[in-house]
Amino acid sequence: MSYIGRFAPSPSGPLHFGSLVAALGSYFQAKSQQGQWLVRIEDLDPPREMAGASELILNTLEAYQLHWDGEVVYQSQRHGLYQQQIEQWLQQGQAYYCQCTRKAIKASGGFYLGTCRNEKLAGNEPYAIRLKMTHPVYHFDDQKHGQLAIPKALADEDFIIKRRDGLFAYNLAVVLDDIDQDVTEVVRGADLIEPTGRQISLYQMLGHQPVSYLHLPLALDEHGNKLSKQNHAPAIDNNNPKPALIEAMRFLGFEMSSDICQASLAEIIAWGVSNWQIKQLPNSTEITPRFSNRPC
């Protein structure tokens, strides 16, 4: 089977160093196997999005010579696919409406314990929709880290597939899209290790073979927080991509010699593709990058 990988940014802001690491890692992993590298914009949550961020992200990928295969897919245009699956599960009794508030769940220990499972609520109130967990996943194999455990309470939970406010849940959309796009491996940041259990459960409930997973180290700021758009991580420079590219490749475990540093952007990327190996990745799942003023 030929390799299909993807980079799936949420357009909550421009690409920052952490998302460049995810873009590069997924690109190198796909291209080193002569695979396809797809880009999917995960614009599922309009209140958390920034106007114009999708275009900015795509411009940045182009500026860094990360050329995707095929057309960019937007989750905002795929609600029909998600809704259809939810309706099928509702009809089969596999999914159900839930009126529990976040506050009530917090008060009962932080995990939803199936309170509305047998309530048979009808769907005309603004209820959330949950999936009956019939295939809990307590661990999975990661290409770098080997077997990773998922907390039992999290794995057992009937999780939300459509929120009370009508937004589709990330886990559902990611899995339906990855199946629809024939993705064979998911390469992304280690912040998404926990949701992987639920995603594998979804594959099993949908009767599909799960993809393989590779989680890349997560870039932290100097206070130990994830670099993220919500934390206002600085956007990377589109006009002078080389310094951030080199820092991100070092972060991914490449030894960047001065010869490589002097090469053109396209040559550096091509060199990265031919030299990429999973074993070069740091063992740690969280790292604070030490940016040098002169990366080369």
> Please, what is the minimum distance in Å from the beta carbon of residue 161 to ligand GLU?
16
DSSP state of 212: E
Options 36, 42, 213, 227; binder of ligand GLU; rule CB under 6 A = 42
10 binds ligand GLU (CB under 6 A): yes
Kindly tell me which of 175 and 268 has the beta carbon lying closer to ligand GLU.
Answer: 175
Pairwise CA distance, residues 221 & 8, whole Å:
22
> Please, what is the minimum distance in Å from the beta carbon of residue 174 to ligand GLU?
5
CA terminus-to-terminus distance, the chain: 39
> Please, what is the minimum distance in Å from the beta carbon of residue 125 to ligand GLU?
29
Residue 5, SS3? strand
CB 57 within 8 A of CB 22: no
> Please, what is the minimum distance in Å from the beta carbon of residue 226 to ligand GLU?
10
* Residue whose C-alpha is closest to residue 85's, from 192, 212, 179, 150: 179
DSSP for 274-287?
Answer: HH--GGGS-S-SEE
236-275 residues near ligand GLU, rule: CB under 6 A: none
Kindly tell me which of 9 and 289 has the beta carbon lying closer to ligand GLU.
Answer: 9
188 binds ligand GLU (CB under 6 A): yes
Specify which residues 16 forms β-bridges with. Answer: 235
Pairwise CA distance, residues 154 & 229, whole Å:
25
Amino acid at 30: A
Pairwise CA distance, residues 115 & 108, whole Å:
10
38 binds ligand GLU (CB under 6 A): no
Contacts of 138 (CB under 8 A, 6+ apart): 149, 150, 152, 155, 197
66 binds ligand GLU (CB under 6 A): no
Options 24, 192, 200, 269; binder of ligand GLU; rule CB under 6 A = 192
205 binds ligand GLU (CB under 6 A): no
> Please, what is the minimum distance in Å from the beta carbon of residue 215 to ligand GLU?
10
Kindly tell me which of 13 and 127 has the beta carbon lying closer to ligand GLU.
Answer: 13
Q: What are phi and psi of 33, to 5 degrees?
A: -110, 25
Span interacting with ligand GLU, options 106-114, 134-142, 185-193, 261-269, rule CB under 6 A: 185-193
Options 21, 129, 174, 268; binder of ligand GLU; rule CB under 6 A = 174
Pairwise CA distance, residues 226 & 191, whole Å:
8
218 binds ligand GLU (CB under 6 A): no
9 binds ligand GLU (CB under 6 A): yes
> Please, what is the minimum distance in Å from the beta carbon of residue 42 to ligand GLU?
4
> Binding residues for ligand GLU, per CB under 6 A?
8-10, 42, 174, 186, 188, 192
